[in-house]
Amino acid sequence: MGLLERLRKEWFILGIVLVIAVARLEPGVGVKGGPLRPEITITYIAVSAIFFNSGLSLKTEELTNALMHVKLHLFVQIFTLVFFPTAIWVFLQLLSITPINEWLLKGLQTVGCMPPPVSSAVILTKAVGGNEAAAIFNSAFGSFLGIVITPLLLLLFLGSSSSVPFTSIFSQLFMTVVVPLIIGQIVRRYIKDWLERKKPPFGAISSCVLLMIIYTTFCDTFANPNIDLDKFSLIIIVFIIFSVQMSFMFLTFLFSTRNNSTFTPSDTVAIVFCSTHKSLTLGIPMLKIVFAGYEHLSLISVPLLIYHPAQILLGSLLVPTIKSWMVSRQKALKLTRQPKAPVKV
């Protein structure tokens, strides 16, 4: 089964998971405890598993080359942590005069403040055949920047009276992101031949872990008996989220493919996904820390919960189109670089 098929299957399974989560929820029932033990499996194991999986599957030389691609990294991080939240803030000034639930609008702003995701952008970049190493580097690097920048952005745009324990967040992120990635790379050195022969389903493993994260986060949010969602606001927010994603994906594509750009087609693929995707795995814990004690925390979390499956859906639908463009563009560039045959007189 190819990566594209796995992404489509992931979206189908995700839909089933969300339906089951809604059907099984009872007022006042959280997700702590139970057979999944999300307070342990999600917080400490799931993210680590994703990055260990990435470290195990990524060729070390590709990651080393990615570290040197400074221009690409600057583009991704500036777009996702500066342009994205600023553009959302300007857009929300217009939406503030509408009857849309104000806490859902605040939730949209929190989406804009989030760092790049830990896996979805990498999975989609790999499905297209883009620069996977650059996607992984920006995922990890963006996560570290997000430790400091995301809480500051949330405080700047929304405000909060709580203190943010940067030290504990940084140490947890280091242990769940960097350490597993390094361990994966070390293990790969010893079993490299076996990996190349067997070709384990790394993409499917990451997808399964991601589904578990989404399921438990969804349950944790909608188990709140005080959550008050009106259908009109929710439908409008869903439409806005899809529109924002499509617009920003198109914008990053235009910027990265302009005539004076030095990005390769595979770089563009990583840029499109990494610049426009937002992290649910890191986002929800950050919201719970920065907005601890907020009565409307559940409503603020809703747009981020919608944004994540939406970015997987849109990305998986666009994989064939983007892959076709990338292949044709690579062929065109290869032809232009070939020396012309001498003309016989």
Long-range contacts of 2-6 (CB under 8 A, 24+ apart): 2/127, 3/123, 3/126, 3/127, 3/203, 3/319, 4/127, 4/316, 4/319, 4/320, 6/127, 6/201, 6/203, 6/204, 6/207
Within-domain flag for 342: no
Within-domain flag for 335: no
What is the spatial distance between Cα 51 and Cα 177, in angstroms, rounded to a whole number? 6
| SS3 (DSSP) at 310 | helix
Mean per-residue pLDDT, 79-88: 94
Within-domain flag for 337: no
What is the spatial distance between Cα 132 and Cα 60, in angstroms, rounded to a whole number? 12
What is the spatial distance between Cα 194 and Cα 202, in angstroms, rounded to a whole number? 14
What is the spatial distance between Cα 139 and Cα 289, in angstroms, rounded to a whole number? 21
Number of domains in the chain: 1
The whole-model pTM stands at: 0.72
Mean per-residue pLDDT, 298-309: 83
Indicate whether 338 pLDDT > 80.
no
Average pLDDT, the chain: 76
Predicted pLDDT at 132: 84
CA distances to 56, 187, 272, 313 from 322, rounded to whole Å, are 26, 33, 10, 14
Banded pLDDT at 37 (limits 50, 70, 90): low
* pLDDT tens readout for residues 246-285: 999 999 999 999 877 788 899 999 999 999 999 876 777 6
Within-domain flag for 59: yes
Banded pLDDT at 24 (limits 50, 70, 90): very low
* pLDDT tens readout for residues 107-164: 999 999 998 876 778 888 888 888 888 888 888 788 778 777 887 888 788 765 455 5
Within-domain flag for 263: yes
Banded pLDDT at 88 (limits 50, 70, 90): very high
* pLDDT tens readout for residues 208-241: 776 676 666 666 666 666 666 678 888 899 999 9
Within-domain flag for 340: no
What is the torsional sign of CA 37, 42, 43, 47?
A: positive
Predicted pLDDT at 25: 42
CA distances to 127, 190, 309, 316, 320 from 8, rounded to whole Å, are 11, 33, 12, 7, 12
Contacts of 6 (CB under 8 A, 6+ apart): 127, 201, 203, 204, 207
Indicate whether 345 pLDDT > 80.
no
Within-domain flag for 117: yes
Q: Specify the range with the lowest mean pLDDT, choosing from 29-33, 297-301, 339-343.
A: 29-33
Q: What percent of the chain has pLDDT over 90?
A: 18
Predicted pLDDT at 296: 73
Predicted pLDDT at 99: 87
Within-domain flag for 333: no
Q: Which domain holds residue 111?
A: 3-328
Indicate whether 15 pLDDT > 60.
no
268: domain CATH number?
1.20.1530.20
